[in-house]
Structure 1
Amino acid sequence: MLEGLPPNDATHVMRVSAPREKARRIADLISETYDPAEVAVANFEAPDGEWVVEVFAGAAFDPDDLKALVACAAGEALADAVSFSQIAETDWVAASLEGLAPVRVGPFMVHGAHDRARVKGATIGIEIEAALAFGTGHHGTTQGCLAAVADAARRGRPRRILDIGTGTGVLAIAAARALRTRVTASDIDIVAVRTARENACANGAAPFVRFVHAAGADARAVGQDGPYDLILANILLPPLKRLARPLCALLAPGGTVVLSGLLDAQASAALSAYRARGLHLVRRRSIEGWTTLTLAREAGRPLLRR
């Protein structure tokens, strides 16, 4: 797993070996703490069976801060085992793509250009290169959302879809390709919007997706295409809780909301916020320690205003 992409001037590396679950917790906590445009985290299995976490950045780390995060995630002993080093500048885009295997979720295969020839038959290939925007398909949150999109396609065809916090646009592209319907995709980060728009063009989804640079769900540009039959929100717990009221206000009767970016331990807090708005749980998925929630609003049930 590689979350974020090391900038080409990345010369500072933190490294620690740990059992698989502790390595995952370390990688997750560091990924959540730092801006992925500045710091990238790799988590992989070494030949000896031990798991390794590597953290890359262009500026020197504060060793005490990183050791504190490792200690919080996996204990003082592993914090003491952390090592720091410097490396030569590398073209991390090219290097990361060399080993980035395609990800299959239901009818979808998310892949880089180097695996384009592996898309066969009825598979919906989505070509996403590593970039500053989040979402190459390898993270459990993205996989959970892709599975939820596949579920929506099996149940019917939502007429209007919102992907809020679109990142690379992978979910908007998947929804557009599978459902052949209108998708509104927004992000607070203009770099993500540009990246997502380019990806949509490259994947033949541009005619179906309107990309919006906007903060939150209250923006007029986000609401004008609603109400939505399907809303996708792969963000993090704090913004998901803040968005509960405006997202539910944008949801059509009988509509579905998919929430992700949640550690397993955070799922109940997100679920509580949306149940308070009148939604009920349809399905809960856990992939590599990350939860994706699918919730729905009954067709005849009014939205709760509290």
Structure 2
Amino acid sequence: MPDGVTVTWKISLPCSRAEAEALAEDNFFIASTDSVPTIVTREDDPKKPDAWAIDVYCDAKPDTKMLRNIAKLVPSTTAKPTIEKLGDEDWVTMSQQGLEPLRAGRFYVHTSNSPPLDTLNIHNICVDAGQAFGTGHHETTMGCLEALDRLKQQGRSFRNIADIGTGTGLLAFAANHLWPHAKIIASDIDIVAVEVSKTNAVANNIKLGHRRGAVRLLQSNGLDSPAFKRRAPFDLIIANILVGPLVSLAPQIAAAAKPGTILILAGLLVHQKPAVVSAYAKAGFRLRGTRLESEWPCLTLVKARRYGRIRPTRQPKSPLAADYFGEC
């Protein structure tokens, strides 16, 4: 939502943790009028891990259709949504009240309500809550940040990076911090997310453009934009999106990779991992590592240097003990 627009209505409804996580992943808009609402999920009671809630902020009084659509998002509850007129409150500040700063490897992710961390070798990234997914507080984004940090620890160096489904731009910015001389292209299917990412880039002193050391932000459905074909092959590709697009994009991502390309995938649940691994094995990738954040695995794969039958990667006995294993 553009700066200066005051959101005057808030609709709240209890939900389950699974529903909250699904909403965060979907970045789902439920507009029934010209108003585009913003959905914020929150843990309602830390002592009850499954008791979550959603808050929907909008700049027009919700109509019956919107309320009905909101109720459909959380089928587990029979409660009626509460409606509150907010007056002149700042929706960004309100939606960020529950977002505490967090550490993920050498990254410190915070909102503009919290100061950066003045610590050596720490990369501060400021991302405010808004109309794009990826403040760093979801397990999928945390897993990707830690995966990038691990690659840096291993001494990996990348010169041509792609971030598919960039959301707020957070992962592209993190890659820029780690490999400041790389060319980075970051895309999202949602033009709102692209504009949010541009705003966040300015706030974080990230250079935008086509040159080395800069991040190019653009709207694209997967890798359909000609910019990807011109820039490919990439030596590092990141995709933190939903499991459906992850599977369907496997051929496109494989075409944009080269032997030895590292691929970081997130946005899937534990039980969806076999389908994703299988799709990318068929596209020529080998699984090299899994990092588990709650029920959300983050996969690290590598494009095979030789083709033919790909042997499956042996998994640890307990997924809860899974970390990185093997060499990328």
Q: Which amino acid aligns with 2:206?
A: A
Q: Which residue of 2 aligns with 1:76?
A: none
Q: 1:219 to 1:94 in 2, by over 3 A?
A: same
Q: Which residue of 1 aligns with 2:162?
A: 162
Task: Tell me if 1:25 matches 2:31.
Answer: no
8 Å Cα contact 1:216-1:243 kept in structure 2 = yes
Q: Which residue of 2 aligns with 1:286?
A: 292
Q: Which amino acid aligns with 1:177?
A: H
Matches within 5 A, 1:149-298: 149-155=148-154, 156-180=156-180, 181-206=182-207, 207-298=213-304
Q: Distance in 2 between matches of 1:260 and 1:159?
A: 22
Q: Which residue of 2 aligns with 1:20?
A: none
TM-superposed CA distance for 1:108, in Å, is 0.5
Question: Tell me, what secondary structure is at the counterpart of 1:134?
Answer: coil
Task: Tell me if 1:137 matches 2:132.
Answer: no
Q: 1:203 to 1:66 in 2, by over 3 A?
A: same
Q: Distance in 2 between matches of 1:34 and 1:250?
A: 26
Q: 1:267 to 1:232 in 2, by over 3 A?
A: same
Q: Distance in 2 between matches of 1:282 and 1:227?
A: 20
Question: Tell me, what secondary structure is at the counterpart of 1:216?
Answer: coil
Q: Which residue of 2 aligns with 1:3?
A: none
Q: Which amino acid aligns with 2:173?
A: I
Q: Distance in 2 between matches of 1:67 and 1:130?
A: 20
Could you list the per-position Cα deviations for residues 186-226 of structure 1 after superposition, in whole angstroms to 9, with x for gaps in the alignment? Answer: 11112211211222222222152111222221321122111
Q: Which amino acid aligns with 1:198?
A: T
Question: Tell me, what secondary structure is at the counterpart of 2:20?
Answer: helix
Q: Which amino acid aligns with 1:209?
A: V
Q: 1:63 to 1:241 in 2, by over 3 A?
A: closer
Q: Which amino acid aligns with 2:10?
A: T
TM-superposed CA distance for 1:47, in Å, is 6.7
Q: List, as ranges, runs of 4+ consecutive aligned residues in structure 1 with deviation greater than 6 Å.
A: none
Q: Distance in 2 between matches of 1:264 and 1:98?
A: 30
Could you list the per-position Cα deviations for residues 68-116 of structure 1 after superposition, in whole angstroms to 9, with x for gaps in the alignment? Answer: 732xxxxxxxx34x34321123532111233321111101111112322
TM-superposed CA distance for 1:41, in Å, is 4.2
TM-superposed CA distance for 1:34, in Å, is 6.8
8 Å Cα contact 1:169-1:185 kept in structure 2 = yes
Q: Distance in 2 between matches of 1:88 and 1:68?
A: 22
Q: Aligned-residue CA RMSD in angstroms?
A: 2.6
Deviates more, 1:32-41 or 1:277-286: 32-41
Superposition TM-score, scaled by structure 1 size: 0.83
TM-superposed CA distance for 1:33, in Å, is 6.2
More helix by share: 1
Q: Which residue of 1 aligns with 2:85?
A: 88
Question: Tell me, what secondary structure is at the counterpart of 1:268?
Answer: helix
8 Å Cα contact 2:25-2:133 kept in structure 1 = no
Across the two proteins, how many residue pairs are aligned to each other?
283
Q: Which residue of 2 aligns with 1:146?
A: 145
Q: Distance in 2 between matches of 1:126 and 1:302?
A: 42
Q: Which residue of 2 aligns with 1:4?
A: none
8 Å Cα contact 1:165-1:235 kept in structure 2 = yes
Q: Distance in 1 between matches of 2:149 and 2:27?
A: 31
Superposition TM-score, scaled by structure 2 size: 0.78
Deviates more, 1:292-301 or 1:259-268: 292-301
Q: Which amino acid aligns with 2:305?
A: A
Q: 1:266 to 1:182 in 2, by over 3 A?
A: same
Q: Which residue of 2 aligns with 1:54?
A: 53
8 Å Cα contact 2:19-2:73 kept in structure 1 = no
Deviates more, 1:117-126 or 1:164-173: 117-126
Unaligned 5+ runs, structure 2? 1-5, 30-35, 208-212, 311-328
Deviates more, 1:128-137 or 1:293-302: 293-302
